[in-house]
């Protein structure tokens, strides 16, 4: 029996099935190579044609292709000898790509950050944005063991390592490809061939900074070229980097900071916005009601719950803009995921990875983590620093931040300019000590907009250090102490 999908209730969502899909409400349908695709009206569907004009794929979502952002249905034509796989390597944004390869196989892959997540059900031959949208075409019984780990919203956290709260449904993680014929999943990056010297290609500092700066300029410029855009600006590293990449293109850019007007974030964001010559305002957080939180969890498929979950009402009430940008992903540039002692060190345990993200050492999570680790451990040169960076990409960016995209009741997501396979390759390929000591970050800011680097990061200046004394104390604490305090606070 076909059930119409109500995309008004499930904004930004999509579904792919080998069987016919009922006529959606607030969405549309089309077919590709025997697959039935349905998506909310706001979700762009981009056809991929080869050089001969043959229909070889679809891009579902918001795609940045070099200096252009696809915000509506259109067509991309490949060049002679260009393949869908080579097209993917230059793309960023929030999307999934479905294509037929030269071997005839149908495949699906998320963007490199997992910004528009996919849940697949092998037994039913379907894949979609969330278990909530999949409920319209397949009966997915709850998995009480997984649900009981957090019992959202009773406890904060997210489901990592491809877990979902339904039996028979699995999360496709970034850097993996789903075969839509067999529903087998294969990791495609990094290179895990034991015969290769390194899992990631090494890069020189100067060349890496120059290329990363050029990519960021293009991708931020692509978003800004569509018109008025909001940047979610804080006093930290990530959003500052995105602002720096906007130099020379700030005509339609304005900044917003969530929280109190007297907060350190608001204080520093005002300074950054003033230096950049853009308007800035602080938006008070509007508390979400229990009903709104339940609706948020249902839209997102109950994959995560934390402070972001309570932001749904605030995001929905913000002033409209064509696009918004966040700094998600830029943490790889500052070496946040790993410590100097991780360089060349043995790969971490599942328990350590869970602790890094304040997740409980529940047997189900530990076992899932061990499976994920065993895949990466196949390469003899894999060390803790690379694995922790990949954990950040696939678990935090994909399973946490990606899952949250479906929760907010808005037709469009915030876009992440720091994304795309090439940026990740550069970040993981630079000398590890250079990255962890924030040399990459400093040089990249210096290349993009050096004046923004003169404003303190996450701390006050002058008498401001007295005003924000709590932050000064926090900055003085070693990372291990901060980690311990945060874990205690969450219990």
Helix H, strand E, coil C: the string for 373-391 is HHHHCCCCCCCHHHHHHHH
CB within 8 Å of 207: residues ≥ 6 apart? none
As a whole-number percent, the residues of the chain with pLDDT over 70 amount to 92
Mean of per-residue pLDDT scores for the chain: 92
| Least trusted range by pLDDT, from 23-37, 379-393, 460-474 | 460-474
Q: What is the mean pLDDT of residues 442-464?
A: 89
Q: What integer pLDDT is reported at residue 28 of this predicted model? A: 96
Q: Are 326 and 414 in contact (CB under 8 A)?
A: yes
What letter does residue 43 receive in the DSSP assignment? S
Q: What is the mean pLDDT of residues 257-278?
A: 94
pLDDT interval class at 123 (50, 70, 90) = very high
pLDDT interval class at 1 (50, 70, 90) = very low
Q: What angle do CA 151, 155, 157 make, to 5 degrees?
A: 95
Q: What integer pLDDT is reported at residue 384 of this predicted model? A: 97
Task: Tell me where in the chain the CATH 3.40.50.620 domain(s) lie.
Answer: 205-335+395-490
Q: What integer pLDDT is reported at residue 321 of this predicted model? A: 58
What letter does residue 287 receive in the DSSP assignment? P
Distance, CA of 413 to chain centre: 11
Q: What integer pLDDT is reported at residue 483 of this predicted model? A: 54
Q: Are 332 and 430 in contact (CB under 8 A)?
A: no
Residue 487 has pLDDT above 60, yes or no: no
Specify the fold of 14-187.
3.60.20
CA–CA gap between residue 101 and residue 111 (Å, rounded):
17
Q: Are 460 and 280 in contact (CB under 8 A)?
A: no
Two tokens, residue 31: 């077919």
Residue 173 has pLDDT above 50, yes or no: yes
**In terms of DSSP H, where are the helices of 282-360?**
290-300, 312-317, 350-356
Q: What does the pLDDT look like over 7-52, one tens digit per residue?
A: 999 999 999 999 999 899 999 999 999 999 999 999 999 999 999 9
Q: Are 280 and 376 in contact (CB under 8 A)?
A: no
pLDDT interval class at 203 (50, 70, 90) = confident
Residue with tokens 């060390």: 383
Task: Tell me where in the chain the CATH 3.60.20.10 domain(s) lie.
Answer: 14-187
Residue with tokens 């934390």: 306
Q: What does the pLDDT look like over 282-317, one tens digit per residue?
A: 998 888 999 999 999 999 999 999 999 988 878 776
Two tokens, residue 60: 């579902």
Q: What integer pLDDT is reported at residue 475 of this predicted model? A: 59
Q: What is the mean pLDDT of residues 164-191?
A: 96
391, HSE (Cβ side, Cα atoms, 13 Å) = 28
CA–CA gap between residue 4 and residue 24 (Å, rounded):
5
β 229-232/253-258 pair status: parallel
| Least trusted range by pLDDT, from 164-173, 268-277, 328-337, 462-471 | 462-471
Residue 382 has pLDDT above 70, yes or no: yes
Order the strands of the 126-128 sheet from edge to edge.
27-32, 35-40, 14-17, 126-128, 118-121, 170-172
Residue 2 has pLDDT above 80, yes or no: no
Q: Among the CATH numbers 2.40.128.630, 1.20.58.1690, 3.40.50.620, 3.40.50.10540, which is that of 205-335+395-490?
A: 3.40.50.620
CA–CA gap between residue 175 and residue 245 (Å, rounded):
25
**Quick check: helix, strand or coil at residue 299?**
helix
Q: What integer pLDDT is reported at residue 470 of this predicted model? A: 67
pLDDT interval class at 222 (50, 70, 90) = very high
Q: What is the mean pLDDT of residues 140-152?
A: 97
Q: What is the mean pLDDT of residues 145-165?
A: 97
**Quick check: helix, strand or coil at residue 325?**
strand
């Amino acid at each position: 029996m076909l059930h119409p999908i109500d995309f008004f209730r499930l904004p930004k969502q999509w579904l792919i099935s080998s069987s016919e899909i009922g006529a959606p409400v607030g969405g549309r349908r089309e077919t590709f190579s025997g697959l039935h695709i349905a998506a909310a009206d706001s979700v762009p569907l981009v056809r991929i044609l080869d050089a001969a004009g043959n229909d070889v794929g679809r891009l579902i979502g918001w795609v940045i292709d070099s200096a252009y952002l696809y915000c509506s249905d259109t067509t991309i034509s490949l060049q002679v000898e260009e393949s869908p796989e080579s097209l993917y390597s230059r793309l960023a944004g929030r999307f999934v790509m479905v294509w037929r390869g030269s071997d005839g196989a149908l495949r699906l892959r998320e963007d490199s950050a997992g910004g528009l997540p996919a849940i697949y059900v092998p037994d039913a031959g379907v894949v979609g944005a969330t278990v909530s949208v999949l409920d319209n075409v397949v009966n997915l019984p709850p998995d009480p063991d997984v649900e009981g780990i957090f019992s959202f919203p009773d406890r904060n956290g997210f489901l990592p390592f491809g877990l979902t709260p339904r039996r028979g449904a699995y999360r496709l993680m970034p850097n993996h490809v789903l075969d839509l014929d067999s529903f087998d999943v294969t990791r495609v990056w990094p290179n895990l061939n034991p015969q290769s010297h390194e899992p990631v290609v090494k890069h020189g500092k100067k060349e890496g900074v120059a290329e990363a700066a050029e990519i960021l300029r293009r991708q931020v410029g692509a978003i800004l070229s569509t018109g008025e855009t909001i940047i979610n600006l804080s006093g930290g590293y990530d959003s500052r980097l995105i602002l720096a990449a906007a130099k020379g293109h700030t005509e339609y850019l304005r900044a917003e900071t969530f929280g109190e007007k007297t907060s350190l974030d608001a204080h520093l964001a005002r300074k950054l916005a003033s230096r950049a010559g853009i308007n800035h305002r602080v938006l008070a957080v509007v508390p979400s009601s229990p009903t709104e939180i339940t609706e948020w969890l249902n839209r997102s498929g109950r994959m995560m719950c934390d402070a972001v979950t309570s932001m749904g009402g605030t995001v929905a009430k913000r002033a409209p803009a064509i696009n918004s940008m966040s700094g998600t992903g830029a943490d790889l540039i500052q070496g946040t995921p790993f410590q100097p002692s991780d360089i060349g060190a043995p790969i971490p345990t599942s328990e350590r990875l869970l602790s890094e993200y304040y997740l409980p050492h529940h047997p189900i999570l530990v076992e899932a983590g061990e499976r994920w680790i065993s895949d990466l451990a196949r390469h003899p040169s894999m060390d803790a620093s690379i694995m922790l960076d990949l954990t950040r990409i696939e678990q935090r960016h994909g399973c946490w931040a990606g899952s949250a995209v479906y929760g907010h009741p808005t037709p469009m997501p915030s876009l992440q300019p720091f994304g795309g396979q090439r940026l990740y390759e550069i970040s993981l390929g630079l000398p590890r000590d250079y990255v962890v000591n924030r040399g990459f970050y400093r040089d990249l800011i210096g290349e993009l907009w050096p004046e923004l680097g003169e404003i303190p990061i996450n701390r006050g200046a002058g008498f401001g250090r007295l005003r924000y004394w709590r932050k000064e104390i926090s900055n003085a604490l070693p990372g291990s102490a901060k980690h311990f305090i945060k874990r205690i606070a969450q219990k």
